Amino acid sequence: MAGGIAAFAGMAGMNVASAEPLLSYKTIDRIIDRMTLEEKIGQMFIIQVNNTSMTDWYRNLLLEVQPGGVLFFGFNVGSFDEVRNYIDAIQRTGRYAPPLIAVDQEGGPVARVPGDPVPGATQLGQMPDTDVRKFSIDRAKFLREYGFNVNFAPVADVAYSPTSTMISRAFGSDPDLVSEKITAVVSGSRRGKIASAAKHFPGHGRTSVDSHSGLPVVDVSLDEWLSSDAKPFEAAISVGVEMIMLGHLLFPQWDTLPTTFSSKTIDVLRNDLGFRGVILTDDLVMGAMQTYTPEELIANSIAAGMDMVMYTQSPVPLTELIAHTKEKVLAGDLSEDQIDASVRRILILKSTWFPHLAIPLA
């Protein structure tokens, strides 16, 4: 592994403008070839951080599962030094690529790390784009100091009415205005070297139902959506957003399945909007998805084309979910080629943005 780290460190620095991976695509494919199927499936998981410091139990879990990412909640955030030390310990558990270290730091009502100098989306939505971009650079630098490298933001939903469940988290009620702010936030975050995850695709702003408690229904055609709710996501993609998070929603004019399980929704994102980055689910513990078993949640999400599944508090041990997913692959119900493609996107993201996450070559 030492040779791999040295080789990684010796390569040219990251080109932020072009966002080319630090490692070659050929090298990334060689890493994937060395992974077991269980390790590849593990890379597709985002799991919750445990406590405010590393425990033997959590270290052993990370070493066994090899998740692609971890998510800090507010109750996991201790002092600055505690967070830094914890993140360092988490990253040392990665066999091929340390986990992405994520947080929900939208500002306003959703802020996990105290002391953030930047206001929330409703206030930013009333500011000039230049100020929004500067504030977004500031937030990225604030998070980077702790050791985070992914922010599950910005909210790209358009809050069309005061009853929208996203009214306190959205930049506004006009798709064009929201698009302008999304452009400023994503470009500012990239400048500050924090990856963004625009959410909640295809759009959570038209409904008053909160997906934490139930499955919202958004009865809008694809044509209407392309001229409205799609715009902020297109804006995010145009300035290189690294990740897009799907909401737990039902678009009945698109599919009979929730968007989390909808290959049609993934097809719209990949082919209509041209997104080539990492697609992830919203948290699978949310009320909108609780009519499905844990095994169904994982298998159906991956079958639809999700690159990463966020399951912060699985009622089933993660090792059992990985074993079940492996069985589905071996039975031909899930495609290992598709899993390889997802892991490739995940490793490209890690290599491009986080050169300190040394990916060993052996």
Task: Looking at 156-278, list the stretches that DSSP marks H as alpha helix, in order from N- to C-terminal side.
Answer: 175-191, 222-226, 230-238, 263-267
The whole-angstrom separation of Cα 295 and Cα 317 is 11
pLDDT digits (tens, 9 = 90+) for 128-155: 999 999 999 999 999 999 999 999 999 9
Give residue 356's pLDDT band: very low, low, confident or very high (50, 70, 90). Answer: low
**Residue 162's domain is classified under what CATH number?**
3.20.20.300
Q: Is residue 329 part of a domain?
A: no
Using CA of residue 246, residue 250, residue 251, residue 256, what is the dihedral sign? positive
pLDDT digits (tens, 9 = 90+) for 26-83: 889 999 999 999 999 999 999 999 999 999 999 999 999 999 999 999 999 999 999 9
Domain coverage including residue 202: 43-311
Structure letter (DSSP) for residue 98: P
Q: Is residue 177 part of a domain?
A: yes
Q: 110-111 and 105-107 as β-strands: parallel, antiparallel, unpaired?
A: antiparallel
Work out the mean pLDDT of the chain and round it to a whole number: 91
Cβ neighbours for 361, distance < 8 A, ≥ 6 positions apart: 3, 4, 7, 8, 27, 30, 31
Give residue 13's pLDDT band: very low, low, confident or very high (50, 70, 90). Answer: very low
Provide the domain count of the chain: 1
Q: Is residue 55 part of a domain?
A: yes
Q: Is residue 341 part of a domain?
A: no
pTM above 0.85, yes or no: yes
Assess whether pLDDT exceeds 80 at residue 355.
no
Q: Is residue 264 part of a domain?
A: yes
For the CA atoms of 3, 8, 11, 17, the dihedral, rounded to the nearest 10 degrees, stands at 180
The pLDDT value recorded for residue 209 is: 83
Q: Is residue 5 part of a domain?
A: no
Q: Is residue 271 part of a domain?
A: yes
Q: Is residue 58 part of a domain?
A: yes
Task: Looking at 49-172, list the stretches that DSSP marks H as alpha helix, in order from N- to C-terminal side.
Answer: 56-65, 80-91, 121-124, 129-146
Angle between helices 25-34 and 336-353 (to 10 degrees): 130
Give residue 361's pLDDT band: very low, low, confident or very high (50, 70, 90). Answer: very low
